[in-house]
Amino acid sequence: MGRRPPGFPSAFWLATFLAASSNATPILFGPELIQLVDSNLKALPSNVASLFSPESSQPPNAITSRCKIYPGDPAWPSDETWAQLNELTDNRLLVKPQPQATVCYNGPQYDPSKCAQLTAKWSSSYIHFPDPIEMMSPVAQGMTCLPPNIFDSHNCTRGGFPMYVINATTPKHIQLGVNFARNTGVRLVVKNTGHDFLGKSGGADSLSIWTHYFKDITYIENFVDKKIGYSGPAFKAGAGVQALEIYKAASEKGRTVVGGEGETVGIFGGYIQGGGHSPLTSLYGTGSDQVLSFEVVTANGKFVTANSTSYPDLFWALRGGGGSTFGVVTSVTVKAHPEMQTTAARFSFTSEKVGNETFWAGIRAYVDSFVTNADAGTYAYFMLIPNVSTGIFTFNMSPFFAPNKTLEETQTLLEPWFTRLNELGIEFNPNISHFDSVYEAWKSSFPLESVEKINATTGSRLFPRANFETERKRDELFQNIRQSSENNRVQVHFNIKAVDPANADNSVNPAWRQNILFSQQAVRWPVNGTAEETLKIRKEFQTGDMQRWRNISPGAGSYLAEADRLEPNFGQAFWGSNYPRLLKLKAKWDPYDVFFATTSVGSERWKVESVDGLPNENGKLCRVQ
Ligand SMILES: Cc1cc2nc3c(=O)[nH]c(=O)nc-3n(C[C@H](O)[C@H](O)[C@H](O)COP(=O)(O)OP(=O)(O)OC[C@H]3O[C@@H](n4cnc5c(N)ncnc54)[C@H](O)[C@@H]3O)c2cc1C
Ligand SMILES: *[C@@H]1O[C@H](CO)[C@@H](O)[C@H](O)[C@H]1NC(C)=O
Ligand SMILES: *[C@@H]1O[C@H](CO)[C@@H](O)[C@H](O)[C@H]1NC(C)=O
Ligand SMILES: *[C@@H]1O[C@H](CO)[C@@H](O)[C@H](O)[C@H]1NC(C)=O
Ligand SMILES: *[C@@H]1O[C@H](CO)[C@@H](O)[C@H](O)[C@H]1NC(C)=O
Ligand SMILES: *[C@@H]1O[C@H](CO)[C@@H](O)[C@H](O)[C@H]1NC(C)=O
Ligand SMILES: *[C@@H]1O[C@H](CO)[C@@H](O)[C@H](O)[C@H]1NC(C)=O
Ligand SMILES: *[C@@H]1O[C@H](CO)[C@@H](O)[C@H](O)[C@H]1NC(C)=O
Ligand SMILES: *[C@@H]1O[C@H](CO)[C@@H](O)[C@H](O)[C@H]1NC(C)=O
Ligand SMILES: *[C@@H]1O[C@H](CO)[C@@H](O)[C@H](O)[C@H]1NC(C)=O
């Protein structure tokens, strides 16, 4: 059962609780009943009210300016106007929330002991997701305020951080923010947890809508949608619900849901709108494939349900088209699946004792198992880590995850590869453990990952089945992976498939449907280099190692949430044949580009003119001429 949200009258709560406990169509959460109504604006003079009103037939004036509206522009709202927004949003407007590392720099908030504490925990997502502005990618933020022992920003500035944040808890707050941005031309961003690797949850001098406190969860015994062809258990969860919260709630009902591996990822914000892969994806498809319904505030300021019969085109676009593009979601209803036994294995080996050729023969042998393992419903998350100073390569399986499989079944799957590793004399000591539930297996198999990389970016490729069909194709793929390691790329791979058992008709990248190996490689640069040097290295990564990966997988794609801002032709890469329809729906649902995020659908019309010329959020968002 959901919890009663703080500050809401119990009558709302009771209504939600009763309806959600029955088999009826789920109704809105208590906070979702609070929507913008005419009377909210009635007391205001009409010229002020018009800044907060839903879309009228008149296009907003600001659509003619070259850039969004910024401080210093005559059209920038006055302090009184911002105060009006604050009042209308129940005093939930945060004005210039300080970057956390402000405590590390000269100024009234300088506090060396706080700075030391912050520095020690900086790479933990727990420092960043509860903050109204922090983004987990400082590279995309513009590197303007980090703890100096991590990176000396010299002069802590706001950089790519927003200027105002609505700490939203109701659709009304979001509707007011969306209307205000559309009517004034101020840049709008949406932050949930800030996990986005590309910086899509920030933007300099913008107004941000922060969805973190949409935390309700309700279990629905039997959700029926005849059009989708689903009849079964479901969860309705607020947009701010994170992986560990929904997994715990599901486990209490003897269920599992499809979500990301990282415990702090916002499953019902960016993850689920962008596709989303999961330890359960080889069994049930992507995160987007699970969605039965969204509640969403659209660019015109309306709060609507998007499901199979209510705005089905918006429903299609929201399931894979990416966050911050078609609206601000307040809650999502997803399929729930039965709990299952799970077997998970963790192990690693290096080239140190056996040498390069034997090490790589061990990796090559693994490539032969990818199709079988993905088709068996398993998930493997592994890394290939080069060390230039020692010349040693490390393979790290973290973990091999086999939902619904016994220990014996899992051992049988791994046996051909393990036999080969033993023949090669590679020591690897696998810890293979059986768990009664996906939840227990997940909790003990996925360590918290570090965030806030200061000199790295990752590019990715969805390698299709075609890359594994013949010995020659497997050799070719293997050689390209080895080459990347020899070029000092840290690599992260997911051996998964994302077939869609329910045949959901949605906008998920069709390249996922062919996927056998989702591969990422990182480019790093000297953190103290000039912008020109950094840009050169980043471009060479795209024309070099990334291009090699594209060349051997023609027509395949990349995953929009784990990708490089410099991915060329990103519309094709992230959405393939769905891109033209997504562009049409963007024009229909957001004709004035109220929503923008870099590399999102339709974003090629705009560019952040960053102050250092690097691909980051520290600059004005302007039209591409
Ligand atoms: C440590 C870590 C582990 C990860 N693990 C996985 C994984 O296992 N599988 C996987 O597929 N991905 C994974 N990711 C990538 C993750 O899916 C993306 O970063 C995703 O965008 C996170 O969504 P969020 O809402 O938490 O983040 P945010 O950065 O807050 O938002 C991401 C994007 O979605 C938009 N958005 C957020 N909420 C809303 C909303 N309510 N309405 C409209 N737009 C919204 C934002 O504007 C932004 O564009 C991981 C990332 C990290 C850093
Ligand atoms: C630091 O940043 C502030 C605000 O942008 C600016 O006014 C000041 O000139 C900067 N100082 C230095 C030394 O760069
Ligand atoms: C945001 O709102 C939540 C819920 O009301 C509250 O607990 C939290 O303290 C607020 N955060 C900030 C920074 O205002
Ligand atoms: C879809 O949403 C509409 C409008 O809220 C609602 O009437 C309908 O019952 C919903 N469909 C399902 C299957 O829940
Ligand atoms: C490379 O190996 C050396 C020696 O073992 C170690 O000190 C260093 O941290 C390693 N570098 C990386 C990037 O792992
Ligand atoms: C293994 O390969 C790496 C990278 O190509 C190289 O630096 C190293 O010297 C090689 N090690 C041995 C033992 O040949
Ligand atoms: C899990 O295993 C059982 C028994 O083999 C099987 O009936 C069921 O279909 C499996 N579930 C999934 C989702 O594959
Ligand atoms: C093996 O993994 C299990 C589950 O993660 C853990 O409890 C156990 O301590 C591990 N055993 C060893 C020897 O590392
Ligand atoms: C990249 O960052 C890491 C971690 O801070 C650092 O050890 C490394 O030296 C940096 N690389 C370069 C080339 O600056
Ligand atoms: C980057 O410059 C800072 C001084 O600004 C220095 O302390 C640090 O060691 C340098 N880092 C690298 C990787 O060169």
What is the number of the ligand closest to the CA of 236? Answer: 4
| pLDDT the model gives residue 503 | 85
What are the angstrom distances between the C-alpha of 47 and each of 44, 85, 287, 450? 8, 14, 43, 48
Our measurement of the distance from residue 576's CA atom to the centroid of its chain's CA atoms, rounded to an integer in Å, reads 19
Return the ∠ at Cα 602 (arms to 599 and 606), rounded to 5°: 75
Q: Whose CA is nearest to atom 7 of ligand 4?
A: 310
pLDDT at residue 572 in the model: 98
Binding pocket residue ranges, ligand 1, CB within 6 Å: 136, 190-197, 200-201, 211, 239, 260-262, 265-266, 269-271, 274, 276-277, 323-324, 328-329, 449, 451, 561-562, 597
Q: How far is CA 549 from the centre of its chain?
A: 23
How many whole angstroms separate alpha carbon 338 and alpha carbon 66? 52
Ligand showing the shortest atom-to-Cα distance for residue 392: 6
Query: What is the spatial distance between Cα 383 and Cα 398, in angstroms, rounded to a whole number?
Result: 8
Q: And the tokens for 520?
A: 């990422």
The alpha carbon of 118 and the centre of ligand 3 are apart by a number of angstroms equal to 20
**Consecutive H or E run containing 312:** helix 312-318
Task: Report how far ligand 7's centroid is from the alpha carbon of 228 (Å).
Answer: 22
Report the candidate in 216, 249, 223 with the shortest Cα–Cα distance to residue 5.
216
Cβ-based neighbours of 275, under 8 Å, separated by 6 or more: 286, 287, 288, 320, 498, 508, 509, 512, 559, 560, 561
* DSSP calls for 38-64: HHHHTTS-HHHHHHHSPP-SSPPGGGG
Question: Is 86 near ligand 6, meaning CB less than 6 Å away?
Answer: no
Distance from Cα 250 to the centre of ligand 4, integer Å:
23
Q: Which of 150, 152, 453 to mutate to test the pocket of ligand 10 (most atoms within 8 A of CB)?
A: 152
Answer yes or no: are the C-beta atoms of 160 and 203 closer than 8 Å: yes
Alpha helices in 104-185 (DSSP H): 112-121, 125-128, 138-141, 171-184
pLDDT for position 13: 41
**For ligand 7, atom 8, which residue shows the shortest CA distance?**
404
Among the atoms of ligand 4, which is closest to the Cα of residue 225? 13
From atom 13 of ligand 4, which residue's Cα is the shortest distance away?
A: 225
596 alpha carbon to ligand 6 midpoint, in Å?
45
Nearest alpha-carbon partner for 339 in 257, 281, 271, 407? 257
Structure confidence by residue, pLDDT tens digits, 35-54: 999 999 999 999 999 999 99
Task: Label residue 54 exposed, middle or buried (CB < 10 Å: 0-12, 13-18, 19+).
Answer: middle
Distance of alpha carbon 583 from its chain centroid, rounded? 20
Q: For the chain, how many helices (H) and strands (E)?
A: 22, 20
Mutation probe of ligand 2 site: the residue of 105, 155, 205 with most atoms within 8 A of C-beta: 155
3-state secondary structure of 276: coil
**Which residue spans within 468-553 are E strands per DSSP?**
491-495, 515-524
Bridge partners (DSSP) of residue 219 are 235
Rounded to whole angstroms, the Cα distance separating 412 from 343 reads 12
Phi, psi of 326 (to 5 degrees): -115, -10
Tell me if 528 CB under 6 Å of ligand 10: yes
Distance of CA 281 to the CA centre of its chain: 16
Mutate to test the pocket of ligand 5, among 390, 392, 453, 455 (most ligand atoms within 8 A of CB): 390
**Cα–ligand 4 centroid distance for 27 (angstroms):** 9
* Ligand that lies nearest to the alpha carbon of residue 522, given by its number in the listed order: 9
Ligand 10 atom closest to Cα of residue 152: 5
Bond preceding residue 147 cis, omega within 30 of 0: no
Closest ligand to Cα 169? 3
10-residue block means of pLDDT along the chain (625 residues)? Answer: 38 42 67 97 94 80 86 96 98 98 97 98 98 98 98 96 98 98 96 98 98 98 96 98 98 98 98 98 98 98 98 98 98 98 98 98 98 98 98 98 98 98 98 98 97 98 98 98 98 97 93 98 97 98 98 98 98 98 98 97 98 98 94
For residues 367 and 287, the answer to whether their CB atoms sit within 8 Å is no
The CA radius of gyration of the chain, in Å to the nearest whole number, is 24
Q: How far apart are CA 442 and CA 422, in angstroms?
A: 28
For ligand 6, the distance from its centroid to the CA atom of residue 398, given in whole angstroms, is: 24
Distance 269 CA to ligand 1 centre (A): 6
Q: Which residues contact 39 (CB under 8 A, 6 or more apart)?
A: none
342 contacts 401 by C-beta, under 8 angstroms: yes
CA atoms within a 13 Å half-sphere pointing along the CA-CB vector of 149? 12
Q: CA-CA distance, 455 to 241, in Å (whole number)?
A: 30
492 CA → ligand 6 middle, Å: 20
pLDDT attached to residue 5 = 39
63 vs 60: CA distance, rounded Å: 6
What is the predicted pLDDT for the residue at 64? 81
pLDDT at 57: 62
Q: Is 486 in the pocket of ligand 6 (CB under 6 A)?
A: yes
User: What pairing do the DSSP bridges indicate for beta strands 164-167 and 207-210?
Assistant: parallel
Instruction: Give exposure, 524-545, as e/b (b: 16+ Cβ within 10 Å).
Output: bbeeeeeeeebbebbeebbeeb
Residue that has been written with the tokens 């794609």 in this structure: 557
pLDDT value for 55: 79
Nearest ligand to the C-alpha atom of residue 165: 3
Nearest-CA residue for ligand 10 atom 4 is 152
Q: What pLDDT does residue 625 have? A: 79
Among 624, 529, 611, smallest CA distance to 158 is for 611
Residue 251 and residue 156: Cα distance in Å, rounded? Answer: 43
Read off the tokens for 136: 């987990």
Compute the distance from residue 167 Cα to the ligand 3 centre, in Å: 6
Taking each helix axis as running N to C, give the angle between helix 471-486 and helix 356-367, from 0 to 180 degrees, rounded to the nearest 10.
140
Question: What is the predicted pLDDT for the residue at 18?
Answer: 39
Residue 433 Cα to ligand 2 middle (Å): 55
Rounded alpha-carbon distances, angstroms, from residue 349 to 291, 395, 399, 407:
39, 5, 14, 22
Cβ distance 465 to 496 under 8 Å?
Answer: no
The contacts of residue 63 (CB under 8 Å, 6+ apart) are 185, 592
Per-residue CA distances from 460 to 11, 490, 508 (Å): 49, 12, 16
